[in-house]
């Protein structure tokens, strides 16, 4: 079955690059301190980073609550988190005019979808659409069925589902008898719209063999979700459809540090060259 290509629906360029807006701790999270950094300042920093990314030529932005650790499982995430994500995503989208997505840790698909519906975001990232794995927050099960119904109830079909297959940061032993190709089939057959391929953890790239296995087993677009950098961009983007980049755009490649515009610009130069080569 040929499905819509949600990447071309959302982005103007081939092999789009999505940069991460790593929101500082949000109200309700253990690290949130309104004296040191209130929510207004969290939004200001997000907008400052978004402007850097736009100047450097990034195609889209993904807003996430990465500083809200230790992470709650999706069903326990509070309304305050969804509300903050909605406010941040709306501010970023209005300020930049770029496509914007939302990721809510951990596997907080319902919170992300609610925030996306309020902010007119273009996609949400879902770590575990089908199957299950053991994450920081415990056993994390697929939520695709409930999200598909929630999106229908919200009348928000424009918000696409970007779904990981064998996501980073966790143990997949409980599905160790299944190949990545089989899990990709599960995700596609159960309604995922873009698949995400990652390495073992943040900042670690998937191997070319892993990417090829995923690309070869699905009709859906496959984007990279970790470890893409200037040194491997040509190789890995050459066999995939785009990438989400977070750590590499920060000082010293550490996601907790500030965005370095020159790193973003140099990376995007490699992307421009690759796009020209494949045209």
**Domains of the chain as residue ranges with CATH:** 6-278 (3.20.20.70)
Contact predicate 26/42, CB 8 Å: yes
Across the strands, what pairs with 250?
Answer: 259
Q: Please state whether the predicted TM-score (pTM) of the whole model is above 0.85.
A: yes
Ordered per-residue pLDDT tens for the chain, 279 residues: 345 689 999 999 999 999 999 999 999 999 999 999 999 999 999 999 999 999 999 999 999 999 999 999 999 999 999 999 999 999 999 999 999 999 999 999 999 999 999 999 999 999 999 998 888 888 889 999 999 999 999 999 999 999 999 887 778 788 888 898 999 999 999 999 999 999 866 678 999 999 999 999 999 999 999 999 999 999 999 999 999 999 999 999 999 999 999 999 999 999 999 999 876
For residue 95, give the DSSP letter.
Answer: H
Find out whether 96 and 55 touch, Cβ atoms under 8 Å. no
b (16+ CB within 10 A) / e for 151-163: beeeebeebbbbb
Which residue has tokens 């961009």?
Answer: 233
Q: Rounded to an integer, what distance in angstroms lies between the CA atom of residue 164 and that of residue 244?
A: 12
What is residue 156's three-state secondary structure? Answer: coil
Q: Is the peptide bond before 70 cis (omega within 30 degrees of 0)?
A: yes
Answer for the pair 156, 120: CB distance below 8 angstroms, yes or no: no
Torsion angles phi and psi, residue 149, rounded to 5: -70, -40
R_g of the chain computed on alpha carbons: 17
Contacts of 225 (CB under 8 A, 6+ apart): 125, 164, 167, 168, 196, 197, 198, 243, 244
């Amino acid at each position: 079955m040929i499905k819509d290509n949600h990447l071309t629906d959302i982005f103007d360029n081939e092999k789009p690059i999505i940069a991460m807006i790593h929101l500082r701790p949000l109200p309700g999270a253990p690290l949130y301190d309104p004296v040191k950094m209130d929510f207004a300042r969290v939004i200001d920093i997000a907008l400052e980073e978004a402007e850097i990314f736009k100047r450097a030529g990034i195609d889209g932005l993904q807003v996430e609550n990465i500083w809200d650790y230790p992470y709650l499982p999706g069903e326990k995430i509070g309304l305050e988190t969804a509300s903050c994500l909605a406010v941040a995503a709306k501010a970023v989208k209005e300020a930049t005019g770029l496509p914007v997505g939302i990721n809510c840790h951990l596997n907080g698909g319902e919170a992300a979808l609610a925030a996306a519906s309020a902010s007119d975001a273009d996609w949400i990232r879902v770590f575990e659409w089908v199957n299950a794995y053991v994450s920081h927050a415990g056993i994390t099960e697929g939520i695709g069925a409930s999200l598909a119904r929630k999106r229908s109830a919200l009348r928000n079909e424009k918000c696409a589902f970007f779904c990981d297959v064998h996501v980073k940061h966790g143990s997949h032993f409980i599905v160790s008898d299944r190949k990545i190709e089989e899990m990709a089939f599960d995700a596609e057959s159960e309604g995922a719209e873009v698949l995400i391929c990652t390495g073992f953890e943040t900042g670690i790239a998937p191997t070319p063999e892993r990417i090829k296995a995923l690309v070869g087993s699905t009709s859906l677009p496959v984007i990279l979700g970790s470890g893409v950098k200037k040194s491997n961009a040509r190789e890995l983007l050459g066999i995939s459809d785009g990438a989400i980049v977070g750590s590499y755009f920060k000082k010293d490649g550490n996601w907790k540090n500030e965005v370095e515009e020159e790193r973003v610009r140099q990376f995007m130069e490699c992307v421009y060259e690759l796009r020209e080569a494949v045209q």
